[in-house]
Chain A
């Protein structure tokens, strides 16, 4: 199955193939879960996809991916969503893998790509710092070259799954003499290791999926720099387009729309004229987002500049927030019940409401996206 030319299959047949596979293979206990699941729980499904050659839709075939066209990739994601497939720790698949494929040496690809596909390596990301959020290029964690090693000192934040991962990709400053974007390197290393301390961060949704990580003479090998020393900003930038395309997918808004519909149903408001009017606008906003998404995905496939992806991210994330704001209104008193206080009450939607908040922040806030578009597309003066 791994050597199949998926793109030659007609769309509807491909859709059925993926749907059938999901129907037969997603473990029952992993279906339709509201949150990302831990690696330990996700691993069986990860390996099922891997063995079937269906794990890496966007990777080229020669690296063990499916090599899907943008259009087929969208179908693939739609069918996994429809089947309730779990969201897994996937930095290896969607971040490190593509970074290596685009910028890695042959040796790095040979070493790391198969271990991502086999589930042997679980990756975590060390990008943001307490003083380098949207302004990522001002990061200060230092990477000092010593012989064939890089010695890392500093701290990172929002390091997801740092307690489950065994591998870390991290942006470090390897040159302080040049302008800030030009002195950053993209480095791979392993964890846990003596110089790395992980401290979980409790979030307002009560979970602690994120961490702060502290580096005190942590070590990486010089040969594990991706894309060349001081060239890490280019590598990181090339990943942001894909991240924003992901953030702009209508699948997120569709999920929130389903929450709104369930909430209105449970509250007996489904036929209320105020609800119907706003619901109609949301439905059409989500469908129209789909048009922009398909256009952006195809334009990325053709090597476009990717500014559409910033637009997509703004539209999707703010739409999802408007949907959940309305859902919280409809949920009324029950919507204000604490997390986990009424697990059987369909109106206790605080969790989803909170979940709609961070997407306008991570991966570059929507305000920064507007600055980018203002400068680079509208060419407005600074």
Chain B
């Protein structure tokens, strides 16, 4: 067998695996979507349904991006994105990225084997939840900007404040970025560690984001100066995963909107027969297709081990910028299509609108990623 046909074989095997994973996510979403529950979960902790999270773990989704050596499936961004895109349609994706995929990737890329062995199998099985605490200022998405300080080397003590920590509620521990001199490293802080206070702020959609106050809090060093490359890669991957969830949110919103304008009658006609609305709907369709094309290329490019880091970061920023903007636009225009009813809390469109606002901002909004993309330099 030639190398080319072997690759084709591996490729088609992966495509088949992807299809199966997507199918099971489609079924899960059809079965589990329940916006009475979505509403009931708002402003509660940990912000998601524990039984649903357990079902996702049973389906193996917590281990998708965890290496096989540590009890995971050893798959990539494409597989994670396929699942998240479907779950996004039902507003069901929490806490797959915040407490599972993102911390798993940071650990995989930054930690030593001992800590990986300690934490990754539990993350892959759904028994352990963790969260990454890296941001301090609104709108700042450069991990090197951290001002939280670390003293004392491997058995470190951290002091500082972290904000916008998605998945902080119910996490067994935190991956915290902190500065020791010039280097920004990643540290593991157990939940309940001395000097650690965790407060919650509600995000637009009623899910919580933590504010971590660290005062001489004991921490274990994962990686010091060597952390930056792994952290950058994990964040690039997670941004594409969030973009995938946004893809699900926006496509489901468009579906709801099209269904509505086909049936809502005013002036004796379905309002979807009015050309002004038709053309606006087509513009959202085009945005959906562009977004999907960008997301597909981004996932494939991030899964390609030959992709240079710079190109990976550029592509990730493009995908997050595109999907953040598209998610916001489709959901806000969906309100206009529905009219006043969509301003009521009983209308599901509002749930998608607020989820889009939450996800668009998380891990960097369109503006932040446009700036980063241009700062990284254009291709060619």
Contact = CB atoms under 8 A, between A and B. Distances in A.
Interface in B236-294: 258, 261-262, 269-270, 272-273, 275, 277-279, 281-283, 285-286, 289-290, 293-294
Given A311-B289, A380-B261, A381-B270, A373 B374 contact: no
**B interface, how many residues as a size bin?**
20 to 34
A374 B270 contact: no
A367 B279 contact: yes
A4 interface: no
B316 to A, nearest CB: 13
A374 B282 contact: yes
B378 interface: yes
Greatest chain B CB density within 10 A among A276, A289, A308, A382 is at: A382
A366 to B, nearest CB: 9
Interface in A283-315: 283-284, 287-289, 291-292, 294-295, 308, 311, 314-315
B12 to A, nearest CB: 16
B262 A381 contact: yes
Contacts of B258: 378, 380
Nearest to B261: A380
A131 interface: no
A291 B296 contact: yes
Interface string A216-232: 00000000000000000
Contact of B294 (A277, A288, A308): A288
Contact of A381 (B272, B318, B322, B374): B272
Contacts of A377: 285
Interface string A353-382: 000000000000001001101100111111
Given A288-B293, A308-B289, A378 B282 contact: yes
Given A276-B374, A283-B378, A291-B290, A370 B278 contact: yes
Contacts of A311: 285-286, 289-290
B308 to A, nearest CB: 15
B297 interface: yes
B339 to A, nearest CB: 17
Contact of A382 (B273, B286, B289, B297): B273
A379 B259 CA distance: 10
Nearest to A367: B279
B272 A292 contact: no
A378 B270 CA distance: 14
Contacts of A292: 289-290, 293-294
Interface in A260-292: 276-277, 279-281, 283-284, 287-289, 291-292
Given A288-B322, A380-B262, A373 B282 contact: yes
6 contacts: A291-B296, A292-B290, A295-B293, A308-B289, A311-B290, A382-B273
Interface of A: 276-277, 279-281, 283-284, 287-289, 291-292, 294-295, 308, 311, 314-315, 367, 370-371, 373-374, 377-382
Given A283-B373, A291-B296, 13 more contacts: A280-B374, A281-B370, A283-B374, A283-B378, A284-B373, A294-B297, A370-B282, A371-B278, A374-B281, A378-B281, A380-B258, A380-B261, A381-B273
